Amino acid sequence: MIRLSMLDRKLVRDLARLWAQSLAVALVMACGVMTLILAMGATRALEDTRAAFYDRTRFGDVFATATRAPESLKAEIAAIDGVSAVETRIANPVIIEITGMAEPATGMLISIPDHGEPAVNRLYLRSGRLPEPGRTDEAAIIEAFAEAHGFRPGDSFDVLINGRKRHLSITGITLSPEYVYAIGPGDFVPDQKRFGVIHMHRTVLEGAYDMKGAFNSVSLTLARNADRKDVMARLDTILKPHGGTGAYDRTDHMSDAFLDTELTQLRAMAQVIPPIFLFISAFLVNMILSRLIALEREQIGLLKAVGYSNAAIAWHYSKLTLLISLVGVVIGAIAGTYLGQGMAALYGEFYSFPFLVFSQKPDLYVISMLVTFASALAGAANAITGAVRLPPAVAMRPPAPTGYHSIFSGTSEGFRLPFSQLTIMALRHLVRWPMRTALTTLGTALPVALLITSLFALDSIDHMIDTVWFRADRQDATLTFTAQASEDAIRDVSRLPGVLAAEPFRAEAATLRNGHRSRIVQIVGSDPDTDISRVLDQDFGAIKLPPAGLLLSERLAEHLDLAPGDQVEVELSDGQGRRVPVPLVGLTNSYVGLTANMSREALDRLSGQGVRISGARVIVDESRIGELYDAVKQTPAIASVALQGVSRKRFQEVIEENIGISITIYVSLAVIITFGVIYNSARIQLSERARELASLRVFGFTNAEVSKVLLTELGVMVVLAQPLGWLIGRGFSELVAKGFESDLFRIPLIINPPTYAVSSLVVLGGALVSALIVRRRIDRLDLIRVLKTRD
Amino acid sequence: MRSDPPTSTLPIFAVSGLTKVYRTGDVEVRALNGVDLALEAGEMAVMLGPSGSGKSTLLNIVGGLDRPTEGSVKFKGMELSGASDRQLTAYRRDHVGFVFQFYNLIPSLTAWENVALITEVAAKPMAPGDALALVGLESRMNHFPAQLSGGEQQRVAIARAIAKRPDVLLCDEPTGALDSATGIIVLEALARVNEETGATTAIITHNAGIRKIAHRVFTFLDGRIASSEINETRVKPSEVTW
Ligand SMILES: Nc1ncnc2c1ncn2[C@@H]1O[C@H](COP(=O)(O)OP(=O)(O)O)[C@@H](O)[C@H]1O
Ligand SMILES: [Mg+2]
């Protein structure tokens, strides 16, 4: 058996006595450790995996598309200063037909060199092989799509390539750095079943699309110290005559941007959440230790009197702190590791990496432990210093009685507030230790804030769904033609089975300029009286498109530093090089992308090419949707189809699942903090006031009345914490929404009253339970023993 | 000073065969061992005896803070030994005033408020100011306990105990933590309260000198009342020496 020193025996007994309070603190610490390990582990996993994968596959730095650029430009592009490698290719959207699946899937058909690997955006071969040169019916497909349909090398499927149905046989399953997060047209979240990426040899696609010696997509990697902006500008100059739609870099690359968003979120989690927990636990440690040392004042005096050194006493209380922290670290590490594996599994579902290791290097645990120990000791420092400073002679005398101030006046004469003496007791105690009261209130406000910050996503997403799918893009499907067509095409679309209404649109890539600022975007032209897909103003009302002029989304106008009434210089990417000033007539609300809208007629006038349409938005008879799907698969002129209704359902599904998980986690975290703060603060108050409260019982006050003193005090803090929590929660939410904002999408900051209410209710519930647990102790107060002891 | 106890027909307290056994593990302590006692309305009793002889135990049972193991305690004919917690709480609230060695004031309330704490819930209380005047603290009403001396704090405790006009005033070593000069002031306050409110008063003390202020003196020994005597001549507390 180990022989413990007397001080260590005291330590063990103290811990045994304080187990409930210690556990409450340890759990708060555990939450900090858990979130730290989880967020930092996931950040690392994602960052490392991404870096390794991009490096290995030579993921491009800059991307651009054109309508048809001669292959001779490749050398010109390669010669741009700062470009280290170039890959040109043919990439087109296709409609994929899969037996047994009613709705058409869409895909990107991308060329790979006939011989050798691409210089940029290499494929990672999971199984099988790449198509053999010369074979026109072989293709490789990305893994997510293959898995969703159970495809293996040797299986086959049909694709509509440039209007001709082709039967392709799968030679290999691949991963692509461009489609780590593979998202189809019109989708908000990946739908692995409905979006596929197909790679075929360049010559095959040159033949299929009549693109001999030409390309329509280019990716390049940059040298280490290249001037990215300059490269992009030069690339634009080269491609503009060939329908270049503007170069973009990784920030605007859909797949990478989504990864970045995830990383931003994780980093924010690692930076914001663990400190909240560590701060609260430091405060709780301070509270517990201060009280313990106050209670043990005379023991400390005695220990010093008999010759224990200050260092021995400081170490004694530090050990207590460290032991509590250790319990927290262990629980947190186990939970963090467990949840981290769950998180990695979740990532595996959404991100297509060849490997995704949830990084569990020991340093992460060491860091978490050190940070937790440090914050706990910081919390304890004040109390321990107090114990060390106490001269033994003073320590052995009882402390002077606590002085109070006569606020919440109950003087015998004059004005009196309508408080009972019991209430005054509670209120004066609150004011007597303002710092503690403030910190306890803050500690209770933080879980409210945490809940609001996690729950507001539901409100915002509800609002987004409502705005995007029920106010703006109300079509069931969007059909995009392989090439722009005459207005007659809309009649053909209307005649497709199941189509109840069809609305034409024209989309043109264009450069918008204001002084030195410029941006390449799609200008979408619609009919002014459009009712299916509508443009929304900033109050979410439908805008009737004006006969002339341009409408820009707020963020785009901000980028270009434009306000309504200003002139925008518009240059269509049609190779003509005409720059036309167009007035900005209004700002629009858009959560997705940078949008530019105008009336179709105005766009036709601007192009000078007559009336052309790019596609149609349709409303479909639900009962005949299958027939429409079949027709679309058979219609050569339709290049791609976005199914808004299906996208919305998929989005809601994914969000519900993910948010369900995160809400469970956040509610648990909030409850743990609430419990840690309220339970400890109630226990400490009870310890400080046991004598007072027992006296009240002796004087004939009932248990309920006596509990009221303690509960009033807690109640005031908990109630004050609510508006504070709402405020902090709103601030946090704003930061989160801002953090998510990118050119691709943004999250509106919408917090509905029920979200405030639910957040408060969860915390109030947690507080109530903690208070009731402590109330049971009041019922068991030993009246007689209290009377015998001095304060 | 009057020496005969106020006479009345029914005793305030009738205690008979009272036994209290504390059991901690295997050890059994007989704190009270068959105590019989009757206290008359308005009388002032002093209880003497060595430490551990059972004085506090008796006072606690009589005050409704504890329950006997055996025997009966009747307050004005009402049996306390079988009362529920709720009944005992109500009993303490309506009928009993306590004064303890360590004052037990609420530090966050002023002298006046400490008294008002009790009068707020009492049925027929006196004004807190009057109660404080009775113990000579009218000028200290708005002071917090931390701003009062020990003797003053104890007088606030007495004012608090008597402000509800209790039937009985139970004092467990009220002067135990005070020097003799201060103790005398406190005893004077108790005597005056007994005189003016007619509350039956029981004072536990270690100090045999105090015996002279009582109508009756009970001496405890080993959980029993070893003797009880009536003081033929009472003296004023100011004439007591210790
Ligand atoms: N809660 C208790 N548990 C065990 N023994 C007790 C308890 N309270 C009092 N006693 C014992 O009962 C006896 C009488 O105590 P008490 O009435 O306090 O004596 P007094 O007030 O006369 O000094 C003592 O021996 C004491 O140790
Ligand atoms: Mg005693």
Domain boundaries, chain A: 1-57+256-400, 58-255, 412-472+649-791, 473-648
For residue A295, which phi and psi values (nearest 5 degrees)?
-70, -30
User: Residues of A near B (CB-CB distance < 8 A)?
Assistant: 400-404, 406, 410-412, 420-422, 424-425, 428-429, 432, 691-692, 695-703, 705, 783-784, 787-791
CA dist., res. A165 & res. A777, Å (int): 79
Whether the CB of B60 sits within 6 Å of ligand 1:
no
Asked which of A75-79, A176-180, A460-464, A754-758 is least confident by mean pLDDT, the reply is A460-464
CA dist., res. B43 & res. B4, Å (int): 9
Nearest CA in chain B to A425: B108
Contact B187, B175 (CB under 8 A): yes
Whether the CB of B52 sits within 6 Å of ligand 1:
yes
The pLDDT > 90 percentage for chain A reads 45
pLDDT at A390: 82
Ligand 2 mean position, distance from CA A767 (Å): 40
Higher pLDDT, A613 or B7: A613
| Token pair for A48 | 């490392």
Q: Which of B92, B104, B116 sits opposite A421 (nearest CB)?
A: B116
CA dist., res. A273 & res. A339, Å (int): 16
Q: Quickly tell me which residue has 């009492």 as its tokens.
A: B122
Q: Whose CA is nearest to atom 24 of ligand 1?
A: B52
pLDDT at A417: 67
User: Chain B 195-234, CB below 8 Å of chain A: which residues?
Assistant: none
- Averaged pLDDT of chain A: 88
Residue A362 burial (CB < 10 Å; 0-12/13-18/19+)?
exposed
Q: Quickly tell me which residue has 């009196």 as its tokens.
A: A416
For residue A598, which phi and psi values (nearest 5 degrees)?
-155, 175
For A522-574, the pLDDT digits (tens) are 899 999 888 898 999 888 888 899 999 999 999 899 999 999 999 999 988 77
Pocket test for ligand 1, best of B22, B27, B172, B206 (most atoms within 8 A of CB): B22
CA quadruple A460, A461, A462, A468: dihedral sign: positive
3-state SS track over A623-659: HHHHHHHHHHHHCCCEEEEEEHHHHHHHHHHHHHHHH
> Is there a contact between A404 and B93 if contact means CB atoms under 8 Å apart?
no
CA dist., res. B228 & res. A173, Å (int): 106
pLDDT at A396: 67
Beta partners for residue A166, in sequence order: A159
pLDDT at A378: 94
For A570-612, the pLDDT digits (tens) are 988 777 778 999 999 999 988 887 889 999 999 999 988 889 9
DSSP letter string, A275-336: HHHHHHHHHHHHHHHHHHHHHTHHHHHHHHHTT--HHHHHHHHHHHHHHHHHHHHHHHHHHH
Higher pLDDT, A287 or B242: A287
Ligand 1 mean position, distance from CA B94 (Å): 27
Q: Whose CA is nearest to atom 19 of ligand 1?
A: B52
| Token pair for A91 | 């990439």
- Which among B95, B106, B160 is the top mutation candidate for probing chain A, defined by the most A β-carbons within 10 Å of its own β-carbon? B106
pLDDT at A412: 46
pLDDT at B241: 72
Q: Whose CA is nearest to atom 7 of ligand 1?
A: B22
Is residue B188 within a helix (H) or strand (E), and if so which, with residue range? helix B180-197
Q: Which of A574, A787, A560, A615 is nearest to A690 (CA)?
A: A787
Up-side HSE of residue A412: CA atoms within 13 Å toward CB? 20
pLDDT at A150: 92
Greatest Cα pair distance, chain B, in angstroms, is 53
CA dist., res. A353 & res. A344, Å (int): 11
CA dist., res. B45 & res. B194, Å (int): 11
Contact B102, A784 (CB under 8 A): no
Q: Which of B116, B121, B146 sits opposite A410 (nearest CB)?
A: B116
CA dist., res. A581 & res. A324, Å (int): 69
The pLDDT > 70 percentage for chain A reads 96
Residue B86 forms contact with A (CB below 8 Å): yes
For A172-214, the pLDDT digits (tens) are 999 999 999 888 877 778 888 889 999 999 999 999 999 999 9
Amino acid found at A644: Q
For the segment A69-91, the average pLDDT, to the nearest whole number, is 95
Left (φ > 0), alpha (ψ -120 to 50) or beta: where does A378 sit?
alpha
pLDDT at B9: 60
pLDDT at A377: 95
Ligand 2 mean position, distance from CA B68 (Å): 16
Contact A196, A109 (CB under 8 A): no
Report the range out of A64-73, A102-111, A428-437, B230-239 with the highest average pLDDT.
Answer: A64-73
> Is there a contact between A699 and B118 if contact means CB atoms under 8 Å apart?
yes
Whether the CB of B22 sits within 6 Å of ligand 1:
yes
Q: Which of B76, B132, B68 is nearest to B105 (CA)?
A: B132
Ligand 1 mean position, distance from CA B21 (Å): 9
Band of residue A665 on the pLDDT scale cut at 50, 70, 90: confident
pLDDT at A303: 83
CA quadruple A284, A285, A287, A292: dihedral sign: positive
Ligand 2 mean position, distance from CA A694 (Å): 17
pLDDT at A575: 72
For the segment A14-36, the average pLDDT, to the nearest whole number, is 91
May I ask the CATH class of domain B42-64+85-239?
alpha beta
For the segment A320-331, the average pLDDT, to the nearest whole number, is 95
For A223-242, the pLDDT digits (tens) are 999 999 999 999 989 998 88
Whether the CB of B102 sits within 6 Å of ligand 1:
no
The count of other CB atoms within 10 Å of the CB of residue A377 is 16
Higher pLDDT, B193 or B4: B193
DSSP B59: H
- Averaged pLDDT of chain B: 88
Q: Is the pLDDT of residue A68 over 70?
A: yes
> Is there a contact between A783 and B142 if contact means CB atoms under 8 Å apart?
no
Domain boundaries, chain B: 42-64+85-239
| Token pair for B185 | 């002031």
pLDDT at B2: 45
CA dist., res. A471 & res. A485, Å (int): 28
Atom of ligand 1 nearest to the CA of B53: 22
Which residues of A42-116 form beta strands (DSSP E)?
62-70, 83-89, 91-97, 105-112
Band of residue B56 on the pLDDT scale cut at 50, 70, 90: very high
Higher pLDDT, A348 or A545: A545
Amino acid found at A165: K
pLDDT at B242: 65
Ligand 2 mean position, distance from CA B148 (Å): 25
CA dist., res. A175 & res. A181, Å (int): 11
Is residue A569 within a helix (H) or strand (E), and if so which, with residue range? strand A567-572
> Is there a contact between B98 and A699 if contact means CB atoms under 8 Å apart?
yes
- Which among A407, A427, A698 is the top mutation candidate for probing chain B, defined by the most B β-carbons within 10 Å of its own β-carbon? A698
pLDDT at A608: 87
Q: Is the pLDDT of residue A104 over 90?
A: no
For A757-783, the pLDDT digits (tens) are 999 999 999 999 998 888 888 888 888
Residue B91 forms contact with A (CB below 8 Å): yes
Up-side HSE of residue A143: CA atoms within 13 Å toward CB? 22
Left (φ > 0), alpha (ψ -120 to 50) or beta: where does A98 sit?
beta
Helices and strands counted in chain B (H then E):
6, 10
Q: Quickly tell me which residue has 């303690």 as its tokens.
A: A710
Q: Quickly tell me which residue has 């192009």 as its tokens.
A: A607
DSSP A473: B
Q: Is the pLDDT of residue B235 over 90?
A: no
CA dist., res. B70 & res. B33, Å (int): 9
> Is there a contact between B110 and A411 if contact means CB atoms under 8 Å apart?
yes
pLDDT at B127: 93
For B142-198, the pLDDT digits (tens) are 999 889 998 899 999 999 998 988 999 999 999 888 888 888 888 888 898 898 888
Distance from CA of B115 to the nearest CA of A (A): 9
